[in-house]
Structure 1
Amino acid sequence: MWSLGDATNHFQLKHLANAEVRVVRHNILHPDDVRTLSRAIVPHAVFADPQIAAVGLTEQQARERGVDHVVSVRNYSEAAYGWALEDTTSFVKLLADPHTRTLLGAHIIGPQAATLIQPLLQAMALGQTVDQLAHDVLYIHPALTEVVEQALLAL
């Protein structure tokens, strides 16, 4: 018997249910090669104005749990595209482990937040360090992703 979606977790997110469908389908078709789905890193987004996207720990959660962390915050206006948007309220906030140099959380409020968080989510899932993301990847100028690059470089 297989279940998915709201019956299996508290997240109530369509993108998580979609991933669960793929796992359940695979497991029904390939019972000798059963897969599981990790829910350790589950992003969410609110498609409001401004957009809000987040994954991982918040700074408050890190403090409450006694998790050693460093924080970087960069305003959209600090990147060329954000400046061109005349955006004065949007930002990227990143939390990283100062020892492993991996991301603990990413929080973005502003235009395209749900898209901007995707490479950070991918880095968390693959165990990439903030240094790899900041120094081993080219960020297109003047794309809005430069604000993510700036936040990574500040870590």
Structure 2
Amino acid sequence: MTDSAHRTSVPGVWAFGDAVNHFQLKHMANAEARLVRHNLLHAEDLRTLSNRVAPHAVFISPQIASVGLTEQEARRRGIACLVSVRDYADTAYGWALEDTAGFVKVLADPADRTVLGAHIIGPQAATLVQPLIRAMTLG
């Protein structure tokens, strides 16, 4: 267990990666390693890292990209959400590629319309999910 600066309860011992989060994603461990490095070198200016938005992608054909809550997670937690699903062909890129297999799914908070989750299956899904990640990060 660590605090938000990734310090453990043992003075001088820090942790990151699989030891402190359940995501087991390389990019998360990289960000945490940069954070711990900074905090070790700048004890007077500790930084923290939120893992509230943790995107992931599977680089197969077609690509799969996801961030945030799934519809099932939202229901299980009792979180109200609006759900919109569109064929990948309805996106500009999917239409241009004449894709007939993929889709885009977005979950939003019904009160403030912020993005709670996004899931894409289709060509370049890992790239196309980036603006949705930014929307979640910025609120």
Same fold (TM over 0.5): yes
SS in 1 for 2:51: coil
Q: Structure 2 CA distance, aligned partners of 1:16 and 1:33?
A: 21
User: What is the alpha-carbon root mean square deviation over aligned residues?
Assistant: 1.2
Q: What is residue 101 of structure 1 aligned with on the other side? A: 113
SS in 1 for 2:23: coil
Q: Which moved more, 1:114-123 or 1:1-10?
A: 1-10
Q: C-alpha offsets along residues 4-50 of structure 1, whole Å, 9 cap, x if unaligned? A: 11111121101001100110111011101111111111111111111
SS in 1 for 2:53: coil
Which of 45, 66, 87 is equivalent to 2:78? 66
SS in 1 for 2:110: coil
2:41 maps to amino acid: L
Q: What is residue 5 of structure 2 aligned with on the other side? A: none
Q: Pairwise mapping of residues 1-155 of structure 1 onto structure 2 (< 5 A)? A: 1-127=13-139
Q: C-alpha offsets along residues 105-129 of structure 1, whole Å, 9 cap, x if unaligned? A: 00001111111111111111111xx
Q: Structure 2 CA distance, aligned partners of 1:39 and 1:116?
A: 20
SS in 2 for 1:106: strand
Identity %: 70
SS in 1 for 2:107: strand
Question: Which stretches of structure 1, 4 residues or longer, exceed 2 Å deviation after superposition?
Answer: none
Q: Structure 2 CA distance, aligned partners of 1:21 and 1:122?
A: 22
SS in 2 for 1:33: coil
Q: Structure 1 CA distance, aligned partners of 2:90 and 2:20?
A: 41
Gapped regions of structure 1 (runs ≥ 5): 128-155
Distance 1:82 1:34, change over 3 A: same
Cα offset for 1:83? 2.4
Quick check: which one's helix share is greater?
1
Gapped regions of structure 2 (runs ≥ 5): 1-12
Q: What is residue 147 of structure 1 aligned with on the other side? A: none
Aligned length: 127
